[in-house]
A = this chain, B = another copy of it.
């Protein structure tokens, strides 16, 4: 029996947004590895061992998964959303880079519906023109780098999607993000706060930049900032395809 490892995106929450490719990998797996709430989304069955682990142990989790696959097990590392967007795929390759014994392992990355695109679909089409995805967490980069990217994104006329906008360990940073946006963008710029899209806790709010407050975001929120042409139509928010709009 030859082992393999798949890093799979479970999408934003609802089972109808899990691809058949991911469902098939989970059906063949002997082991599922991941952050506790993501592993909880996989149905237990005989022959499948679940390995939930805490947040912020991504490298340990990746190493454990690689070791099991090298031993011949069929391992799925589960991520929320898409594994390549601020999730487990990069963490896995960081470990593979340091461990040449894993270079020939059978590894697949299985894409998923990432949070910003699920949120954009619910809101309308706010990312319908050029856009940026920015992780606002400073766990892995200095906040000065976040600020630099925000300014380039705004000055370049990009719409923006923010992941990890706010957490209890850094409550003041998102207030600073709003300040930077107010320096770079007009007060009428539309911002959508999309919380827990496709789950029972889903909540969407769209306000202007002038109206936005830090408390509108939490760790389960994706924030989408339109570009200067982004507008409302009926209950929807969309960004025109053309620059002249």
Copy number in the complex reads 2
Given the interface contacts A19-B17, A120-B84, A241-B90, does A97 sit within 8 Å of B141 by beta carbon? no
Known contacts being A121-B84, A158-B132, is A20 close to B16, with CB within 8 Å? yes
- Once the chains bind, are B130 and A133 in contact (CB under 8 Å)? yes
Q: Is the CB of A243 within 8 A of B130?
A: no
- Hey, which chain B residues are within 8 Å of A135, CB to CB? 129-130
Residues in B neighbouring A153, C-beta threshold 8 A: 132, 152, 156, 158
- Say which size band chain A's interface belongs to: 35 or more
Bitwise interface map of A from 101 to 141 toward B, beta carbon under 8 Å scored 1, else 0: 00110010111111001101110111111111111000011
Task: Report the 4 A-B pairs with minimum CB-CB distance, sorted nearest first.
Answer: A90-B128, A152-B156, A89-B125, A93-B238
A: which residues have CB within 8 A of B?
Answer: 11, 14-21, 24, 58, 82-87, 89-94, 96-97, 103-104, 107, 109-114, 117-118, 120-122, 124-135, 140-142, 145, 148-149, 151-153, 155-158, 231, 233-234, 236, 238-244
- Supply 11 further A-B pairs (C-beta < 8 A) apart from A18-B19, A110-B121, A153-B158: A16-B19, A17-B19, A19-B113, A84-B117, A86-B128, A90-B241, A93-B236, A97-B233, A111-B121, A130-B135, A153-B156
